[in-house]
Amino acid sequence: MGLFNRDDDYVSPFDTDDAPDYVNPDVEAARISQQVDAEQDQREHIARMRKLQDAASSRPSPAGTARDVQMSIRQATKPVNRANHWSMRQPKRQSQPHASAKSMQRNQAYGPDAKTSQGKRSGYAIAALVLAAVAVIGFGETSSMVLTIVALALAIVAIFRTDANSRKSGRVMAVAALVLAVVMLAIQTAILIVENTSHSDISWTSSGLVTDYDGYETSDEPFTVADHSGTVSDYNGQTYDITIDQAAYGLTDDYDGNPQLIVSFTVTNNADEAWSLNSMAYVDVMQNGVGLDQAYGFENNAATRQLGFADADGGDDIESGQTQTVTMAFTPTDVSSPILVYVSGVNEAVQSAFVFADGQSTGPLTQIDAADMEAPPQAGETEREGMTTMADYDGLSRISLRFDSVRQGPQDYDGNDTVMLTLTWINETDRPYSLADLGAVDLAQDGHELSRAYISDALSQGYDEAAMYRLVMPGVPMSVDICYTPTGDDDSFEASFNAYSSFDDMESTLSLE
């Protein structure tokens, strides 16, 4: 063994008594990895503790909370026993029960009680939006405006009771309901205004409004009626002085040889230009409470000239500032019932009555005041049976009406088949009106509105095409026939009457007889 002994400082590579122990690379790598993991876990834990401390310092908390957090941080900074660290690895940390400062403030403002109140506030918004939607669906009905007003009120309440910063408070729904309700209310109000200013008079007895033959309002001045002589005005404010002079029967004949009733007028044209009597005013003659047909073919003769009847008729122009006598002819229904002559303008009328002498066949009629004329036959219970009465906006009765039947009518000018709607109506006002003055009649088949049919005289079979335009005195029943052109084979028809200046309409389903 001496060969291996030396006295110098040489150290043999085989002499390992003082050398460090052998280190396994795999073991060392695992140890270093554990150390790195432990240090990373420590840094993460410290960061979490600091976040907890920041959260605690930003909200009201007991005084010891900050100290506890600081203690936890100090404890977390203690050296970790690396030898035991592997077995002491903690599971993933559960979510902390602490909330952020912003969340805590929200909870304080909207706690359980606030959530209940928030639900109530959202309820106002939901109710407002639902009512506004129902109002849109029922547009055109009276209930729609009521629902719109309620929805508007609920929407305003909801906006004041909701939080503008919260998406769940119902503020958006409340604003949407408010906008919808305002739009609906504006539209409905505009429609009412248009109806009040465009349709026939609201009530001439209460407000003085009168209408033309199309049923549209013309003025809000009181309507006045004069006996025998007076002044009437047109729509342009031009005035005309009219006197109803006299009437005679049987002195002239129409083109068909029928005796005529002739009426003489003295007319002064106060307008700026020439106008005829027919252009100045409406001239009607009524017998038995119903307007008569105007007769054509009047020719003056020695007898009429002797009585003072002029050659000029209602279509002849009268120069501005001139006075002229005008003769107009009509066809009476009998020679015993009194006659009412009625000349109407925009706000005025001139009227005068004439009566036949007992057994009179020809000659002049006796002129009397309209108030002294015998009243025409009034509607009784039988005529009123099954009728619907419609009132104006003031609640005053305007018209009573009943749809009677739909049957086959005469052929029109082109030889097409027609159907004839028959109705009966009563003028419930206190001045003469026509059916066309008070409303519009329609007939529909298969949901399609039918067009009016025009009948030739040869095929009329007594059909009175002008019936709906004839003036009818108050309380007098009037039967009207209207012909239409059918569009299909369905025997069921829907008749309707749209009353002017009224909330009331009438509909009826009729089968072809």
Residues in Cβ contact with 329 at an 8 Å cutoff, skipping those fewer than 6 apart: 252, 254, 260, 261, 262, 263, 294, 295, 296, 297, 298, 313
Kindly tell me if the per-residue pLDDT of 265 is higher than 60: yes
| 53 pLDDT more than 50 | yes
Cβ 234 vs Cβ 281: under 8 Å: yes
**For the chain, percent of residues with pLDDT exceeding 70:** 68
Which CATH number, 2.60.40.1240, 3.30.70.20, 2.40.40.20, 2.30.42.10, labels domain 224-368?
Answer: 2.60.40.1240
Model confidence at 61, pLDDT cuts 50, 70, 90, reads: very low
pLDDT at 127: 82
- Contact indicator for 442, 492 with CB cutoff of 8 Å: no
Average pLDDT over residues 65-73: 44
For 319-412, where are the alpha helices, taking DSSP H only? Answer: 381-384
Residue 54: pLDDT above 50?
A: yes
| pLDDT score at 216 | 41
Q: What angle do CA 428, 432, 433 make, to 5 degrees?
A: 75
pLDDT surpassing 80 at residue 43? no
Plot region of 318 (φ>0 → left; ψ -120 to 50 → alpha; else → beta): beta
Within this chain, domains 224-368 and 388-512 share the same CATH topology: yes
Domain ranges of the chain: 123-196, 224-368, 388-512
pLDDT (tens digit per residue) in 204-226: 333 333 344 344 444 457 889 99
Residue 361, pLDDT score: 85
Integer Cα distance of 277 and 283 in angstroms: 8
pLDDT band at 114 (very low <50, low <70, confident <90, very high): very low
Residue 90 has pLDDT above 70, yes or no: no
CA dist 158 and 118 (Å) reads 10
Q: Which helix (H) or strand (E) holds 106?
A: helix 101-109
Q: Which residues touch 336 (CB under 8 Å, ≥6 apart)?
A: 356
Paired tokens of 138: 């029922």
Identify the top-confidence range among 10-14, 57-61, 372-376.
372-376
When pLDDT is cut at 50, 70 and 90, the band that residue 77 belongs to is very low
Greater pLDDT, 101 or 284: 284
Span 269-297, average pLDDT: 93
What dihedral do alpha carbons 310, 314, 319, 325 form, nearest 10°?
30
| pLDDT at position 104 | 43
Pick the CATH number of 388-512 from 2.60.120.10, 3.40.30.10, 1.10.275.10, 2.60.40.1240: 2.60.40.1240
Q: What is the pLDDT of residues 162-205, one digit of tens each?
A: 665 555 556 777 788 788 888 888 887 888 776 665 443 333 33
Cα–Cα dist 420/417, whole Å: 10
Tell me what the pLDDT averaged over the chain comes to. 78
